Structure 1
Amino acid sequence: MPLPHHADRPQHYLKPGEIYCTERPVVVTTVLGSCVSVTFYHRASGLAAICHVLQPQCPRSTGCTTGCEAMGRYATCAIDAMGRWMADCGVRPGQVEVKLFGGAAMMGRGNRRIQPPSVGRLNVQAALSSLQRLAFRLKVADVGGATGRKILFDTASGEVWLKRLIPAMVADTIEA
C-alpha cells in the first residue's frame, strides 16, 4: 500500500504496545488484529498521536502513570496518556480529530451465546469508554469483523489509509 506522494516523508512502524506522539510530518504504519489503534490529530497545530494497544484495561487498579513503560499496552492507559500530551500542549478534547481502528475477532468464536466477548470487542469498548470519559468525540471508526487491518496514519493531514488483510486460505489436508 505505497503512498507515492508521501515517499519523501519519514516513515515509522508502530509496534504493539507503543504510543507515538509527534509535531512533525511522519507516516506511521501498523498492523492490527484484535488490537486497537486510536489516532489523535489537531489540525491547527499539526500535533498527532497514535497508539497500538493489545488489551482493554491495565491490571493496576490506579491505571498507568506517566513513567509506566507498559501504558501503551492498554486502551485506557494509552488514551489517557495521549490525552494528557494534547492537554499539556494546550489542546482541548473538542479540538482533536479522533479515529479508531481494529478490534477484530481473530479466533473462531463458535456459539456467541455462550462465548465471552472477544478481546477485540473488549479493546474497542475500553477505547470508546475512555474517549467518552475524557470528552473526545470520535470522527471515524472501522472496528470489529474477523480480519486484520493495516493502517497508515499521515500526521501531516490526519488522514488514515486502511487495508483489510485477507487471511491466507489453508489448502493442505491431513490424511488419516
Structure 2
Amino acid sequence: MKVEKYQNGERVTIAPGEFYVTGKPGVITTLLGSCIAACLYDPGRRLIGMNHFMLSNPRYSKELPLNITDAGRYGIHAMDLLINAMMANGTDRFRIRAKIFGGATIINPGAVTDNFFCVGQVNCRFILQYLEKERIPIDAMDIGGDFGRVIHFSNGDFSVHRRKVDSSRSSKLAERDRYCWQKAIEQQQAALTEVDLW
C-alpha cells in the first residue's frame, strides 16, 4: 500500500490482495487487469472502502458452482474483509452500496471455457453473484472486456474515475491520473470548508 499526502487529504494506492477503508478526505486508487476492485461506500457516514482481489489457483472453470472452486472462496474472503472493516469504521451492512470494476480477459480472449485464461470472467460472475446474494446494490460497474483499467475512488462525491490502460501513452496518462485524484481531494476540501447559513 502506498500513501501520498496532498493538502489535507491522501491518495492510497492498493495492490492485489489489499484493501483500504477511510472516512477521511481522499482517493483510493488501483490498477486492474483480470482482478476485481469492489468500491463500497456509505454515503450517510461518508465512508469508502476498496479491495483488489485476484485468483491464484492454476485452474478455473466458468461452469462450476462458485462454492466448489477456489475462485469463490478467495473472492469471499476479500469481500468479507472489506465489509467487516467498513462495519468496524461505523457503517451498518444495509447502508453499503457498491461500484465494481475489472475482470478483463487480457491474455488469450478467445480461449476455451475450461482453462486458466477465463479468470476475468470467473471474477465478474463471482462479484455479481456475491453482491446480489448479500443484497448490496450496485450503482455503477465496468467489468469484463479485454483492457486493463486504472481507477480512482473519491470520498467526495463517491465517484470513480476510470481510464483504460494504454501503455503507449503512459507518461501523459500518469500526469492525467495525478490531476484527477488531486482535483478530487481539492473538491472534498472545498466542501468541508463551506459554511451553511441558516
What TM bracket, shorter-length normalisation?
0.7 to 0.9
8 Å contact 1:16–1:52 — kept in the other structure? yes
SS at match of 2:141: strand
Post-superposition Cα deviations, 1:17-63, rounded to whole Å, max 9, x if no partner, equal 101111112211110000000011111111111000012978499x5
Residues 1:10 and 2:10 aligned together: yes
**In the aligned structure 2, how far is the partner of 1:121 from the partner of 1:34?**
8
- Mean alpha-carbon deviation: is it higher for 154-163 or for 139-148? 154-163
Task: Identify if the C-alpha distance between structure 1 residues 11 and 137 changes in structure 2 by more than 3 Å, giving closer, same or farther.
Answer: same
Give the alignment's TM-score, normalised by structure 2. Answer: 0.67
**In 1, Cα distance between equivalents of 2:71 and 2:16:** 19
Question: Post-superposition, which runs of at least 4 consecutive aligned residues in structure 1 deviate over 4 A?
Answer: 56-61
Q: CA deviation at 1:157?
A: 2.5
* Aligned length, in residue pairs: 150
| Unmatched 5+ stretches in structure 1 | 1-5, 64-73, 169-176
Residue identity matched to 2:92: V
2:182 matched residue in structure 1: none
TM-score (norm 1): 0.74
| Structure 1 residue 7, shift from structure 2 partner | 5.2
- Tell me the residue number matched to 1:92: 93
1:148 and 1:7 map into 2 onto residues whose CA distance is 26
Give 1:59-138 correspondences, 5 Å limit.
59=70, 74-88=74-88, 89-93=90-94, 95-110=95-110, 114-116=112-114, 118-138=118-138
- The aligned counterpart of 1:3 is none
What is the match of residue 42 of structure 1? 42
Whole-angstrom distance in 1 between the partners of 2:71 and 2:38: 22
Quick one: which amino acid aligns to residue 144 of structure 1?
G
Per mean C-alpha deviation after superposition, the further-off stretch among 37-46 and 116-125 is 116-125
The unaligned stretches of length 5 or more in structure 2 are: 57-65, 169-198
**For the residues of structure 2 that align with 1:153 and 1:60, how far apart are their CA atoms?**
25
The structure with the greater share of residues assigned to helix is: 2
**Amino acid corresponding to residue 136 of structure 1 in structure 2:** I
Deviations 1:51-83 (A, max 9, x none): 00012978499x5xxxxxxxxxx3211112222
Give me the whole-angstrom Cα distance separating, in 2, the residues matched to 1:119 and 1:167.
22
Contact 1:15 1:30 in 2 (8 A): yes
Do the aligned partners of 2:45 and 2:91 also contact (CA within 8 Å) in 1?
no
In 1, Cα distance between equivalents of 2:167 and 2:105: 13
